[in-house]
Amino acid sequence: MMQAGDLVFSPIAHTHPIAAYGLPGAWSFWQAYDRAMIERCDELAVLQLDGWEESIGVQAEIAIAKELNLPACFIRPKNCPGVFTSRQYRGK
């Protein structure tokens, strides 16, 4: 997506490295932060990796996007077994 020129914020990629320094990993800790980031987005893109449907954080982020009337796209990575999708992301 970034190679296509999109500006991307990934909660797991941008926060997991600092969480390794003693911050909690629970959704309850990150909820306000994620909401603030989603409020600044134009769209929510959900990468459908194994476990995304059971992820409390991912499901909460989808709910926040719906509440904010943000469009969402669901991305099925190529060559990733066990991933189901509605469509592939094609960039803007």
Give me the pLDDT at residue 18, please.
85
Low pLDDT (below 50) residues in the chain: 83-92
Give me the pLDDT at residue 42, please.
93
Cα 62 from Cα 46, distance rounded (Å): 8
Give me the pLDDT at residue 14, please.
84
Give me the pLDDT at residue 20, please.
84
- Closest alpha carbon to 30 in 45, 15, 52: 15
* Residue 45, SS3 per DSSP: strand
Please state the pTM of the whole predicted model: 0.77
Q: Which domains does the chain possess?
A: 11-75 (3.40.50.10400)
Q: For the CA atoms of 31, 32, 33, 34, what is the dihedral angle to 10 degrees?
A: 50
Burial group, residue 36, by CB count within 10 angstroms (0-12, 13-18, 19+): exposed
